Every structure is written in structure tokens, then in C-alpha cells.
Structure 1
Amino acid sequence: MIRADAAKLRERLKAWFPDREFFMRSQGQVRFIKLSSRVQMAAAGAVAFALLFWAVTMVSVAVSQFISQRDRLAMLEREAKVESAESRVAAYRENLNETADELKRRQEFIEQTLDGVLDDIKVTDKDTVSDSSKEAAETVKKVSVAIPEAAGLAKIEARQIAFAEKLTLYADQRSARAAAAMRKLGLNPEAMLRSAQRAQGGPLELLSTRRGGGMDPRFERMGLSLARMEALEDSLQGIPQYLPAAEWSISSGFGYRRDPFTGHGAMHAGLDFRAGYGSPIHAAAKGRVSFVGQKAGYGRVVEISHGNGLMTRYAHMSAFRTRVGQQVAAGDVIGAIGSSGRSTGPHLHFEVRINDRAVNPRPFLEAAPHVLEEARGTAAARSGQAAR
């Protein structure tokens, strides 16, 4: 089999390189030169080998140059990083005072930014925020003696601690105002916070300002105080405070009443606002629309979730002006007055529910605008038409 294949290959090569004769004429004489198939094949093989050797050599040179260039660039990059790190260390050592001055200017900018806010803080006997001013002054003295070149940094640290304590006090006082406002409206601020904390999560990322991994308790306290302030004030925005109908005209109050259809006593879980057919209906507070559709007895209904277990319901609508999932602000139009469902005429049935328990909406609508305005510490009324 192998011999047969070899024989076929020889025959094919002979067909490619047949015996050839050339004649040359020189000075009247003619010479004949014969090139056999074997000579031609040998010459072709030599040329092919030379070309292959040249190609391999060129590829090897190119690869070698690439590797050399890559190693050179890598070395230069490493040298640049080392030089950068060394130069920065040298700069800090030589310009420690300049670095301290830069940090001082940054701290002054931060303090000036909040100057008009924090300057209004009044310290009372009831305040529990620590005062580290004496301790910080003593630390500055000790550092100045032990490490004179770090005195500027020690002074900046003292200012930062004082700033953190002042900001903590500011957050605590705003939280106290927000909590007091909730209590005036019959709400429990701690229960509101617990309800807000039920849906939280995410990866654990510890914030550390110390080499050992711990955080200065004064800065940790500041963070907790600011978070509590934000949560309470955000909860205030979800308290019903805007008149849901254009006019303060209640045709039926909250509580037990004579049912208009049966004539027997029945519980009425909200307020009925009498208004013209098609009149706008407004969101009573900031929140997210959680339901738009039909409900038995209520007709066309919109429900808005305000967080912390608070929900408002708007019933007997003639048209919807919102959709599920939409974020609304207090006063936004969400629908139109109608008489759908179990209704005797055009009106809005308005409910306030806390953890699905109906409560009287009237105290919220009557007191909330003034109480919340006082809690925010502003004299201007809330923009838009607020309930009076």
C-alpha cells in the first residue's frame, strides 16, 4: 500500500518536472543541456527549504522583538509606579505642613457650607451628645510635643470631632421635632421607624476610620442620628396633609352612622366629601400608587401606600388619573369625583388606614399641615392647597 502510494507520488512529480532539454548557441556552436526530473525536483526542494527557513527566521525575530518590547514596557510601568509612590511619600514628608493647610481649607469649606444651619443649634441640659473639646485640646498639645510636624493634622482632627458632635446634635434636635409632630397626630414615632426598617438589606460594608478596623464612636453616633432624622422626616411626608377634594364639605363623617341604603346603624370607615361630578381628586400625601381598579362597594378605587403601614384610599371615582407603581406628591391629581359603587350621588369616600386598620382622617387633615410646618421649622405654608 505504502509502496503504491510512493510510486504514485513519484509519477506525479515526474509529470510536474518532466525531463527538459535546452539548447544554447554561442559563436556559431550549438550546445544541448538536459535537465532530468531528479535534478529539477532537487532544485525545487532546495528553494522551498530556503523559503521556509527564511519565513521561520523572520517569525522568530518578530516574536523575540515583541517579547523584548513587552518586558521593557512592563519594567517601565513598574518603575513609574515605584517612582510615583516614592515621590508621594517624599512629598508628604517634605510638605506635611502644606498637606495640613489643604485639609484645613477643606474643613473650613465644609463648616462654612453648613454655617447658617448649625449656628442655630442651642445646647440644653436635655442634650446627650458628648463634648470632646477638652479632650481634643489635650490631644493637640501632646501631639505637638511628641510629633511637632503633625501638630497641624491634630488640630484638624479636633475640628472634625467638634463638627461631628455639632452635626449629631443638629440631627437629634430635628428628629425630636419630627417625633413630637407625630405624637400630636396620634402616631407612635418608634412604631413608624420599626415599620420602615422591616424592608431593608444589602451587603455588609463596614465603615472604618481606624487602622484596627473600629470606627470612632462619635462619628458612628453622627451617622445613626442622621439616619434617624432622615427616616422620621421622610415619614412625615407620608402623613395625610392635603385636602383630597377641592372643597372642605363633608357629607358624612367617620364612625357609626345610619346606612343610607338599609337605614340601620353601620360603621363608616372614612370621610365623604361632597363635590361636583368630575371634580379633581388629590393625593393626600407623598407615596406610591398601590392599587387602581374596582372594589366591591367602593366602585372605582385608587389606593396609595405612604410607607410605615400608612395607606390612603379614594373611592367612588368616575375616572382614574394615575397608574399602579406611580410615585405621587401631596396634591397631585389622581382621579375624578364620581358615584361608582355603593353610592347615592357624586362624592369622594376617603379613608386613612394604618396597618390596614381604619382611623379617622379628620385629625390628620385638620392638624397635619400646621403641625408639620412647625416640625420643619418654617413659617411659609406648604405649597398648593392644604387642608385648613
Structure 2
Amino acid sequence: MSQSASFGARDRREQRSVRRGVHPGLFYGMFALLLGANALTATALLMAPDISRLMGGRNDMVVAAYEDRLAQMRVEIDRLHSRNYAQAGDINLQLQELSQQQEVLLEQHQLVRALVDKADKLGIAALVPSAAIEGELRAVSTASGNPDVAATAETVALMMAETQQAMTGIATEAEQRTEGIVSELGKLGIRLDLPEQGLDGVGGPLLAAIDTAEGSPMIEDANAAMDALLRYKAARDGLELAPVHMPISGNFRQSSGFGNRKDPFTGGRAFHSGLDFAAPSGTVVVSAAAGVVSFVGERSGYGKVVEVRHDSGLVTRYAHLSAYIARKGQAVGTGTPIARVGSTGRSTGPHLHFEVRRADQPLDPKPFIEAGRRILAMLG
């Protein structure tokens, strides 16, 4: 009985040992973990197509975004290329226009030089266009490759400004001198036949101006300068026909004026019809203006006389001469020798008696001589 009790106690101890081997909480935890893993696996298997579709959609969006960006970049590149082509076209067009302007300017520069030479011959000192600028322009126009547009444009602009300045200076000076001659001679009753200035418009529809080679500002300036020079030359030629120049070579004293004076022979008052210049006998007498010798001989009281008829309608008379140089019918110019000073006729000593006559009536020669001095001073 004691043995059976002993075996019974040992069996109970062994059963307790077995029960202590696997804890129930651990067992149930492992079972729950296994169950959860199986559930997740099943869920993943069930949702795999949706996840794939979601991931595929995001990839499509990224690709579409990149494709849109690439398209935008292509448009931007095309726009930049188009701008570069346009700029290149503008530069080529500018170069072509500058080249044409260079050719025209070089030709017109020669025209301006011709105008300057003509003005110089007429006594007008004009601004001479710079030969250095013309040479630089020729060098730029003949250079290989495309020249610097800005530098070429600057050279062209400088040349245009200088050319315009030269032509404007010529026209202004010529017009002022012409006006001075016309004004002085007009006071003496002498009218000059001058070329008409450029025609002025008097009516018609108002239309926009057309830029052509014939109507360019530079051509207009050149035409204006040429017109002014032609008018000035005509005024100068008319001046040569007016008896406003000294009739005797040298600086001689005026001994008697025009008008009433004390007669050197009678002592009474008498009319003196000209100017007297005291000068030694034999001094050369010259024509006071261009014309034709209309009389050579003696006149009562005047002694030996030479008369010159001028296209202005005036006649100049040179009296008390000692000798004749010109002959009747001879064409003479201003300053042409026609006689020599003497004391023939009603004279108390050697001197030149000078008269200006219109319609056979004597005029005071003094305003003519003074006008001539002012004109010559103006002309330099």
C-alpha cells in the first residue's frame, strides 16, 4: 500500500511536469499569430490586381507628365530657333540696307564735293566733307564677311550728317549773299533776272510722302544747294552789269560831289552832274560795269569822253580824259581799261569826271559806289 501510494504520488508529479512544459498563453499566442499571417496572405492575394492597377496608374501619370514637359520643351526650342532665324533675317536685311546706303552715299558724297568746288569758285567757303570718313566707309563696304552693323550704321549716320551740314551751309550762305545783292541793287532801281526757286505746291490732295531715291532728303538738300548756287551765280553776273564798282584804279580822293556847287570858273552856284576823282594825268580809267562802249569822242564842256552802255539800261560816262584805250562797239567787262585821266574840256586840273545816267538823265553816282563797297564787303 505504501508502494501504491508512492507510485501515485510519482504519477501526479509527472503529470504536473507535463502540464508545465507548454504554457497555454504562449500556445494561444502562436496560434493567433499564425492565423493572422494566413489572413494577411489571403487578403494580399485577393487585392493583388487592385494594387497592380493603382501602381500602373501612377506610372502612367508620371509618364504623361514627362511627355507634356518634353512637348513644352520642344515648343520652346522651336520658338527660340524661330527667333534666331528672325534675328538673323533682320541682321541680313539691315546689312543689305546699309550696303545700299553706302553705295548711294558714296555717289552723293562726290556730288557734294562738286557742289563745294562750285561754291568755292563763287567765293563761298563751305564745309568740305571729310575724306577720312569716306575712306572708312569704303573700307567697311569692301571688307570681307559681314561688317559690324552698329559700326557701319554709325559711319553712315556720321557721313549723312556731315554731308547734310555741308549742303545746308552752301545753300544758306548762297541765299544770304543773293538776298544782299538783290536788296542793294533794288535800292538803285536795278532788277535782276534770277532763276526761280523750287516750285511750291499750291493745291491738291494730301497724300503720304513716298521715299524714293529722287525724293530722299539728301537729294532734296543737294537740289536746294544747287538752286541756291545758280541763283547766287545769276546775282553775281547781274552785279557785273551794275555800275557799282570804282571807275579808277587806286585809292584817289573824291574832289567834287553830285549836285549844286560853287562853279570853279564863275564862282556862282551851278549843277555838277557827277563825281570827280583827283588823279595824276595818265592814270588808267576802267569800266564800272560790263557793257558795250557806245561813244568815244569829245562832248562840249566834257572834253574827251568814253561812254559805256550796260544791260541794266544805265550808261556810264567818263570825261576830261587825256587818251582813249577802248573803241566804240567794244565789249568790256568790269575793270576793263577804257581811257586815261586828263584835264580836257572845262577843267581846272587832271581828274576823272564820272557820271551814271538813265534815260539820258544824270543820277547821283555816290549811292552806286557805296552799294558796291557794301556788296564787296559782304562777299569778302
TM-score (norm 1): 0.45
Flag the structure with higher helix content.
2
* TM-score using structure 2 length: 0.46
